[in-house]
Amino acid sequence: MSISVQPVVMAGGSGTRLWPLSRAGYPKQFLVLSGQTSLFQQAVGRLQGLASPDVAVLPPCIVGNEEHRFLVLDQLRELGVEPSVALLEPMGRNTAPALTLAALAALEGGQDPVLVVTPADQTVTDEAAFATALRQAVQLADGGAIAILGIAPDRPETGYGYIRSAPADGAPVVARFVEKPDLATAQAYLAEGSYFWNAGMFVLKASVWMAALERFRPDIAHATRAAWAARSTDAKFVRPGKAEFAAVPSESVDYAVMEKCPGSDIDIRMVALDAGWNDLGAWEAVWQVAAKDAQGNASVGDAIVKDSTNTLVHATSRLVSAVGLDNVVIVETPDAVLVADRERSQEVKQIVSQLGREQRGEHTLHRKVHRPWGWYDSIDHGPRFQVKRILVKPGASLSLQKHHHRAEHWIVVSGTAEVTNGDKVILLTENQSTYIPLGQVHRLANPGKVPLEIIEVQSGSYLGEDDIVRYEDTYGRS
């Protein structure tokens, strides 16, 4: 009989250290940073690749948040993958409650699959080696053990936690977990040889996780069960009770359970992984995995790099030129540019914290903002006006809405627009336009089979995104 495996992809992170490319509204797991697909899509694809004659892989369980729910579905749709469930956390409570939600979902209907739990923001270059290591971990977990993937370190890294392993029959046991070390300690770990990076990938049965959580952190188990009991379901989306989930203690899988297992009677094993793993946690890590020239420079987009060494240039919307640099990161987006010492790229999160304190828009959103119906790009603005480029997917529509403080002019660039303007519904095609007066109830829809693109010119006393009164919305937004 084959082992039933439930992939669990943790997709709720914010990726602050990869600002300005990664932002709260479109974090790094949904970006293409390595290869041709996003990190989230790569994570899903790798776990689907575990299938073999003795391993049956179920559709993935995705744990994320409300804000990113349509990004999740869109990117899964691009892969041709339908999730078993998308668990939407109303607020972040760290990884232990997230894994508990996934375990409770997996145990519905009397099943007890092996959970293969991975963050959504990692990259692997050798997928065959990855699958081999995970299948070994699955076999261990099917026998009742907790299996953790450990990465053989190739440098004295101070940005990761470590696992110390000890020899044992079948697979090494986890002797202890250790915090992120200082440089001297990391060098000692590297020389000693029994320390591995903790990749945050866990393989265990759903029932084993719940039993361990009940033993070590019954408060988290009880509170998360209460939130699960108060859940609501909307197609593939499952939302735990908001008030109940707010009461769940915030804790990581490591702190809540894993670090307490060594020395107990719980069988906790480590499977070594040598597959070109990287968590792309900062721009330094992106440079590490990127293709480089003879001088160690890596570039993405329209970039010219001269007389420079070990430098990363990431351009998204215009030409970026660099001369005479060493160990520098330059990241350009339409509304923000980062220049940093490559070896201090972890400190980018300090910039993000300041943006958050100052409530600046660059903290959360890009100039181009993705929506479930498509996207808009704010290409120009000034006193009392704003110009947007808007794309609506085939068959999609914006909400039926009105604005208190602005009027809008719409010009169709390509495709066909169905425009509700008060009590009239009209069709517009390329080069045709319409005017939406202030306070008029209106809707934009794409009835065609090709994308609709329009230019929207807004004018008025206030042009913020919160000046929207919605009457109807396909996507359940209030």
CB 160 within 8 A of CB 182: no
Give dist(CA 130, CA 247) in Å, integer. 37
* pLDDT score, position 273: 92
* pLDDT score, position 477: 67
Among 123, 116, 83, 112, which residue's Cα sits nearest to residue 99? 116
For 113, 149, 171, 174, the CA distances from 168, given in Å and listed in that order, are 25, 16, 6, 10
Neighbours of 154 (CB within 10 A): 9
* pLDDT score, position 342: 94
Q: What 8-state DSSP symbol labels residue 52?
A: B
Residue with tokens 């030409």: 319
- pLDDT tens digits for the chain (478 residues)? 689 999 999 998 777 899 999 998 889 999 988 778 999 999 999 998 888 888 889 999 999 988 888 889 899 999 999 999 999 999 889 999 999 999 999 999 788 999 999 999 899 989 999 999 999 999 999 999 999 999 998 888 888 889 998 988 888 899 989 888 888 988 988 888 889 999 899 999 999 999 999 999 999 999 999 999 999 998 789 999 999 999 999 999 989 999 899 988 899 999 999 998 988 889 998 998 899 999 999 999 999 999 999 999 999 999 999 999 999 999 999 999 999 999 999 899 999 999 999 999 899 889 998 888 999 999 999 999 999 999 999 999 999 999 999 999 999 999 999 999 999 999 999 999 999 999 999 999 999 999 999 999 999 999 888 899 999 888 776 6
Give dist(CA 448, CA 99) in Å, integer. 41
How is 394-463 classified by DSSP, letter by letter? TT-BPPEEE-SSEEEEEEEEES-EEEEETTEEEEE-TT-EEEE-TT--EEEE--SSS-EEEEEEEEES--
Helix (H, G, I), strand (E, B) or coil at 77: helix
Give dist(CA 93, CA 446) in Å, integer. 38
Give dist(CA 22, CA 362) in Å, integer. 10
Neighbours of 118 (CB within 10 A): 24
Fold exhibited by the domain 3-273: Spore Coat Polysaccharide Biosynthesis Protein SpsA; Chain A (3.90.550)
Give dist(CA 61, CA 299) in Å, integer. 35
CB 208 within 8 A of CB 141: yes
CA angle 322, 325, 329 (to 5 degrees): 75
* pLDDT score, position 110: 84
Per-domain boundaries in the chain: 3-273, 291-354, 368-472
* pLDDT score, position 48: 87
Helix (H, G, I), strand (E, B) or coil at 126: coil
Among 67, 21, 33, which residue's Cα sits nearest to residue 362? 21
Q: What 8-state DSSP symbol labels residue 285?
A: H
CB 116 within 8 A of CB 47: yes
Q: Where are the beta strands (DSSP E) in 104-144?
A: 114-119
Neighbours of 193 (CB within 10 A): 10
* pLDDT score, position 272: 92
Residue type at 80 in one-letter notation:
G
Query: Domain 368-472 carries which CATH code?
Result: 2.60.120.10
